[in-house]
Amino acid sequence: MPKIKNNNENQNILDNKSIFSEANNTELLTDCITETNDQITEEIEENELVYSKYKYTGKNPEEISINKGAKLKVVDWNAKDGYVLVYQVDNKHNKGLYPINSITNREKYISALKRKYNGSTKGEPYFTEWAIEEFDKLTQGINEGPEFSFDGNKWYNH
């Protein structure tokens, strides 16, 4: 793997992280999935770790009630039209149907950040590292769960 020089351009991006405000990133986390159910299903692998974008109170016993930022594991992508069957990672007894358009994952968040700040991401991989840190800040502390890591392609549970 080639080494990346820490040139002035990359350092400027790291120094100017303030252009990426936390308020904008929280809004982006909330808005980063707008595609149809089919597109979402194609882009997020079955059984991948996802996060809830909103606090949700189930309307019937089949639906899950969770807080915004809850770490979820998808069990069935086709459980019911417009819903996925999930369980909460840090409380496996909390399971049920959850609206598919109310989930997000880190890859989609980073892609959305790159689109939003097009032209400001020349310092790869520094931008991606920063985006991962921002995603983790937005989702951590909302609903703590077991340790997970992400290697660029998959999530791993420790």
Q: Is residue 1 assigned to a domain? A: no
- Residue 49 confidence (pLDDT) above 60: yes
Q: What is the pLDDT of residue 62?
A: 92
pTM given for the model: 0.47
How far is residue 95's CA from residue 91's CA, in Å, rounded to a whole number?
A: 8
pLDDT of residue 5: 45
Q: Give the whole-angstrom CA distance, residue 113 versus residue 121.
A: 9
Q: pLDDT higher for 158 or 95? A: 95
Q: Is residue 47 part of a domain?
A: yes
- Domain assignment present for 45: yes
Domains identified in the chain, total number: 1
In terms of residue numbers, what domain contains 36? 8-157
CATH number at residue 93: 2.30.30.40
Q: Which of 13-17, 100-104, 109-113 has the highest mean pLDDT?
A: 100-104
2 in a structural domain: no
**pLDDT range class, residue 96, cuts 50, 70, 90:** very high
Residue found under tokens 């951590």:
140
Domain annotation covers residue 86:
yes
For position 65, what pLDDT does the model report? Answer: 93
Q: What does the alpha-carbon distance between residue 23 and residue 85 come to, in Å, rounded to a whole number?
A: 30
Residues in the chain, how many? 158
Residue 140 covered by a domain? yes
If phi > 0 it is left, if psi is from -120 to 50 it is alpha, else beta; for residue 129 that is alpha
